Every structure is written in C-alpha cells, then in structure tokens.
Copies of this chain bind each other. A is one copy, B any other.
Amino acid sequence: MTQNQAPIRVALLGAGTVGSQTARLIVEQREELAQRIGRDIELVGVACLNPEEVDAPWIERSLLTTDTAGLCTQADIVVELIGGLEPARTFVLTALESGASVVTANKALLAKYGPELYEAARKSHVDIYFEAAVGGAIPIIRPLRESLEGDEITSILGIVNGTTNYILDEMTTKGLDFDVALHEAQEKGYAEADPTGDIEGYDAANKAAIMASLAFHTNIGIDDVSVEGITSITADDIAAATAENKVVKLLAVVEREDSGVSARVYPALISNNHPLASVHGSFNAVFVKAEATDDLMFYGRGAGGAPTAAAVVGDVTTVARHIAQSCTGPEIRLYNDLKKSPIGAAKAEFAVRFLIHDKPGVLAQVAQKFFEYGVSINGVNQDIKPTLHDPGYSGELQQLRIVTHACDELTLRKVVEEVCNLDCISGKPSILRVLH
C-alpha cells in the first residue's frame, strides 16, 4: 500500500445523470476505493455548463467549473461524460496529450474517432477506457479487450439499445403499433423527445462499430455499419412472430465470415428459445460466439445514471491502479486490416410483409417477382386487415407475409422494391431477418 503518496486526481467533464452519479460513487466510496486501488483518489473538478443548476449535494460547490478545457490538463484521469462528437473530441485529445488517462462513455466519439484517440493514448503512454460506452453497466468491453484475447470471436449479437427494446417489448406484450408504443415510451422517459438516434438504429450502430473493432482488431467505424431501424415494424409483424414462437429484436450484429467482417444493425426474428429472446424492457444483452469459448452472454442494465456510473467508476479504479504502477492496460491494437464484407453479401432468410389490394391475381404477381430474381419462398400467409385503408383504393386491404429461403440481401431488396412498384401494393413493407 502506498496511500501516503499524493492522491490520484480525477476530473469529471459533465454533471448530468451519469456525471452526478459518477461523482457520488467516487466521493461516497473514497475510502473503499483507496483500499482497492492501493492509492487514494480525489475528485478535483467537475466541468459543466451551468454550475448553479447542478443538483448533487455530494459535489462540493468549489469543484464545479465551466472551464472544461482547463480541467482537462489538471488531472491524472479525465472522465468525459459530455457525449457527442465536438467539443468532446477536442477535450479528450487535450487530456490524452497532456498525459492524462481518459475514461469515457461516449460511443459516438469512439465509433467515429476511435483510432485517432487510441493512437493519442498510445503516444502519451496513458489509458483510454470506455466500459460504459456499450451496454451501460454490462462488462462487455473488458471481456472483449482482455478475457477473450485467447480466442477468435466469430460473431456478436447485441441488444444494445434499451429504448427500442422497450418499445418492441411493449408492442409484443400489449399488441401496440409502433407509434403508440413510441409515444408511451416517451411519456415514461424511456425514449427521448427526438427519438431518431434510437429508433433508426444509429445508437446501436455506434456500439456495433466499437464491438467489431475490438473483436476483429480491425478499424470498423460508424460509416462501415449498415443500419436499419424499427420504424416500419407493425403490431401485425409482431403478432406473426408471436404465432411462430419468435420475438422481434433490434440487434447489433458483428460477424466474421468468408466474405469479410461486418457490423450491422437490423430488426430480426429470433426464436423464443434463444437466450436473447428473454431480454426484456430496457435491459441490454450481448451474445458472443467464439471458436473455443463457444456461446457467452452478458446481461444487465444498458442505461441509467447509477448503473452507467458504476461502469465508469470501475474503469476509473482500473486506470488509477495503472497510474499507481506506472503502466497501462492493453492498447487497442487494430493490427488486422480484415476485408469488410460487402453489404448484402451474406445470405439470410427474410420475413417480408406487404399490404396488398384484395383482388384476384395479386399473389401471383408478387410471387412472380420473387421467382424472377431467384428468391425461393419458404412460407406465405395472407389475411384481411379490415382496420387498414388505402385512400387510393376502394376495396379492402390484405396483409401478405412472405418468408424466404436463404438469399442475399441486395437481391431481396431489389425484389421488394419491384414488388412495391406494383399497383396492387399499398404502404411500406417491413423486412425482418430470420435468425437461427
């Protein structure tokens, strides 16, 4: 124990939900953390836009500052909880270049500028840790960076966005349509006023990029991730899934295949037997397959002030130990330059749902399009939807659900586009991947 040395100085950037809980854990557990680290740690400053608005009695008022850039050069560990790309990137680079280690929960920053930041940390011989950036409180980054380094990861399936999981869960249990479930989620605080980042899959895409880069030691940035959200999924899609003992989940999917590595976000049908199927509400889970390890799953709270703060303070503790020993944790080594799989190269089965006019010959027209493109149909289901109406068509609407055999995604999307050009098709189709 070397507790008679000067305390390790920790600066917090951001005093929002996660920031104030991070401060609380550091202040309230100071003695316990000192025992665990072997060295005292001290909160030396909390940067925020409006100090007078910070409602966290455990933060000494004198620690609050608006001089964020200044704080970045006055600490041994800078904890970035501002979020977004700029000015977060500049602050993190300033900290790393001044010789401070960084702990961050900023997934967008890492998915966009990860390699630049990892290199800056390497050059300064300091750490950059980011457990809270994926899966909130779930330890997934550390297993990817360390525990699984003795094995080859082949795929990761993650439920990494609590908002969409909550919405899909409500749609499933209450039979709600997307818009209604979204509205309810917003009222309960599970979805933001502008929910785009969550429901369009961008938040999950950032996390997919981070996990893929770590799993394959290859730089996979946000622009390499193909993204589909959940906005076109209806209560009927979910009812059809339920009838087949399946659930719809928005997944971040990271894969290593013959055609290359890929990172994608899409809604998928998974069997009720799959461990991910029982991940409910705002919980997150990450399912990892590796060659020797086989299946692993990590489950826990993907968001929330205290859970996310716990992951942040876990990182602070590890980084502080490294500082006490004058060493660092594992560098993020993106030494592989694995080929990125072209979008649509991997074969998959799809469940596509169209709304069609109820008149003779429609099914034949649709089936003909699938046949023309060589997409083989595995199952068809057609029924009346008396609740739906198309202003341009006086008859009733039917719902046509087609499940394909394995086909490549680009072809499937071309078929769907051509089918949608038929006069007999109404509204927007939904496309779900079927996972086994």
Contacts and interface: CB of A to CB of B under 8 A. Distances in A.
Interface of A: 21, 25, 29, 32-33, 35-36, 38, 131, 137-139, 142-143, 146-152, 217, 275, 278, 290-301, 304, 306-307, 309-318, 321-322, 325-328, 330-331, 333, 335-336
Say how many copies of this protein the assembly contains.
Answer: 2
Given A312-B150, A327-B325, A327-B327, A296 B300 contact: yes
A195 B414 CA distance: 59
Given A147-B311, A150-B312, 15 more contacts: A21-B292, A36-B217, A36-B333, A139-B139, A143-B143, A146-B317, A148-B310, A149-B313, A149-B314, A275-B278, A278-B278, A292-B310, A293-B300, A298-B299, A299-B299
A318 to B, nearest CB: 5
> What 3 pairs across the A-B complex have the smallest Cβ distances?
A150-B313, A327-B327, A139-B147
A155 to B, nearest CB: 14
A295 B143 CA distance: 18
A32 to B, nearest CB: 8
A300 B300 contact: no
Contacts of A336: 35
15 contacts: A139-B143, A139-B148, A142-B142, A146-B318, A151-B314, A290-B310, A293-B300, A293-B301, A294-B306, A296-B298, A297-B300, A298-B298, A322-B327, A325-B327, A325-B328
A423 B345 CA distance: 74
A200 B321 CA distance: 40
B311 A294 contact: no
Nearest to A327: B327
A295 B301 contact: yes
A392 to B, nearest CB: 47
A105 to B, nearest CB: 13
A137 B312 contact: no
B301 A294 contact: yes
Contacts of A335: 35
B293 A310 contact: yes
A311 B325 CA distance: 25
A317 B35 contact: no
Contacts of A309: 150, 292
Contacts of A327: 322, 325-327
Contacts of A299: 275, 295-299
A295 B300 contact: yes
